[in-house]
Amino acid sequence: MAMNPMQRRARNSFLIGFLVSLIIMALVVLALLFRIKSINDAKEALEQLQKKVYVATKDLESGDVLDFNTDFEIGTVQTTMDLTNVIDETDFQFLDKDGNIEIKYNEDGSERPREVMMKISVPAGTIVTKDMIVETDEQVTATQRIQEYNMIVLPSQLKNGDYVDIRLSLPNGQDYIVLAKKRVLGTTANTIWLNVDELEISLLNSAIVESYYYTGLKLYAVPYVEPGMQESSQVTYPASPDALTLINNNPNILNEIKVDYANKYLTVAENRVKSFEGVLSTMTEEDKQAMVESGNSDEIEAMKSARQDFVSNLEGTDDVGYNE
């Protein structure tokens, strides 16, 4: 039966609407499929970036001596980094030219571990690369001892693990490095523990005696800013002639070390003492006393007070005390 024009227009409108709906639905489906593909591609790309590498288990500071077993763990991270530059256990072992593990020994015959320190500070979870670490120069010798000192003026914010130079300051403006780049094994408000060898013990004892004997001297510690990056200072302190004689007669100090030190500092030590005594001879006892009371003494007491406050806030942590 023939349709009238009204029915035909209605049917055509329905068909057109249906086709438009189908087209819209098809476009929506295509858009959804494209979106899903994009999400899957992005997910796959992220999964390809996920790598299992060693990351720091805690915040690591510049100069920290590292323990591979406790300071690092395997973590899954997203990175485009070349994994050949990430640390692994071989960076904490001595290897020979063929890549085989090599055992090294200290002077006392004990096995020497390869000590590695951080060059820079990094937070926990950071990927540590080979250029962030450096082997330390520390090696246990037969004459090394852990010594406790409480006559050295300590920086107010010194903590365990910091590296310091021990310096001797004279009232005439001279300043000498007695010990260079020593790691602080432990510290309290007024005490510091250091690993020192026989020559270093002799040098520091000489400086201690001088700091007691002469008015206005200050024996103090100066921390390194980035110990992992900074090279050790050169020792510049010329011990007194009496101390040099004792060093020369000490059988526990290797002859080449004694000769090298004496050749460098014997003449300058004699001249320094004479020069220093000349400076002191021009001062009256009242001048010396005033210098101590108004200068060094006040500075030392202020430093001790500030350090006591700092240490009090760190009681119970690994940053202070001696826990070796």
Are 158 and 304 a contacting pair, CB within 8 Å? no
Q: Which residue reads 């007070």 in tokens?
A: 305
Output the 3-class SS for the chain.
Answer: CCCCHHHHHHHHHHHHHHHHHHHHHHHHHHHHHHHHHHHHHHHHHHHHHEEEEEEECCCECCCCECCHHHHEEEEEEECCCCHHHECCHHHHCCECCCCCECCEECCCCCEECCCEEECCCECCCCECEHHHEEECCCCCCCCCEEEEECCCECCCCCCCCCEEEEEEECCCCCEEEEEEEEECCEECCCCEEEEECHHHHHHHHHHHHHHHHCCCCEEEEEECCCCCCCCCCCCCCCCCHHHHHHHHCCCCCCHHHHHHHHHHHHHHHHHHHHHHHHHHHCCCHHHHHHHHHHHHHHHHHHHHHHHHHHHHHHCCCCCCECCC
> Phi and psi for 283 in degrees, rounded to 5?
-100, 140
pTM of the predicted model, to two decimals? 0.64
Residues in the chain: 324
d(CA 106, CA 292): 45
- pLDDT of res. 292: 46
Q: Pseudo-torsion of CA 84, 90, 91, 93, nearest 10°?
A: -170
DSSP bridge partners of 112: 104
* Residues of the chain predicted below pLDDT 50: 292
d(CA 68, CA 52): 16
Pairing of strands 133-135, 116-118: antiparallel
Taking the domain 51-135, which CATH number applies? Answer: 3.90.1210
- pLDDT of res. 272: 58
Are 180 and 165 a contacting pair, CB within 8 Å? yes
Are 261 and 247 a contacting pair, CB within 8 Å? yes
Are 182 and 115 a contacting pair, CB within 8 Å? no
Other C-beta atoms closer than 10 Å to the C-beta of 185 total 17
Residue 272: left if φ>0, alpha if ψ -120 to 50, beta else—which one?
Answer: alpha
- pLDDT of res. 138: 63
Domain spans of the chain?
51-135, 145-314
Other C-beta atoms closer than 10 Å to the C-beta of 233 total 14
222: closest CA among 186, 177, 171? 177
- pLDDT of res. 316: 79
